[in-house]
Amino acid sequence: MTKARLHKPLPELTDQTRPFWTAAKEGRLVLQKCERCSTFNFFPKPWCIECGSRELHWTDAQPTGTVYSYTVSRSVAMNYPGWKDELPIILCLIDLDDNARLYGQVIDCAADEISIGQRVGMHFESISDEAGVPKFHLVR
């Protein structure tokens, strides 16, 4: 008997979010950056989170940062059984070196290895024909 593949939800690609997801598919991190105040936005919005300007452009960002906070999920994450085989899942808020904060999953480490202030690097996982997702690993 063949085991059914459990699927994970895919992001909704819109005109506003597509550059982020397609760059991740290419192995690059891009974020919106404000022309007026140089603030990086995450998640994508039609205006700057700092000054309200609509003068945003997509800019390559550094794929490194520091763990700001984290949680460890030991049960089926967010009610999606597709993550069952990855338990426990380490979900973090990451302060990127470019002064943006984003959520991310840290993989390839045990839950007791993660700590606030720890350095992480980013890599990308293809999740569809159009999108990739950034994931993190500890910088050792």
**Chain segment 77-106, per-residue pLDDT in tens:** 566 777 777 788 999 999 999 999 999 999
115 is a domain residue? yes
3 is a domain residue? no
Task: Convert the pLDDT of each residue in 49-63 to its tens digit.
Answer: 999 999 999 999 999
Task: Convert the pLDDT of each residue in 109-129 to its tens digit.
Answer: 999 999 999 999 999 999 999
- Kindly report the CA angle at 31 between 25 and 32, in degrees rounded to 5? 135
Count: domains in the chain: 1
112 is a domain residue? yes
Q: CB neighbours (10 Å) of residue 81?
A: 12
**pLDDT for position 81:** 75
Q: Which helix (H) or strand (E) holds 19?
A: helix 18-25
Range of the domain at 44: 18-138
CA-closest candidate to residue 59, choices 98, 103, 27:
98
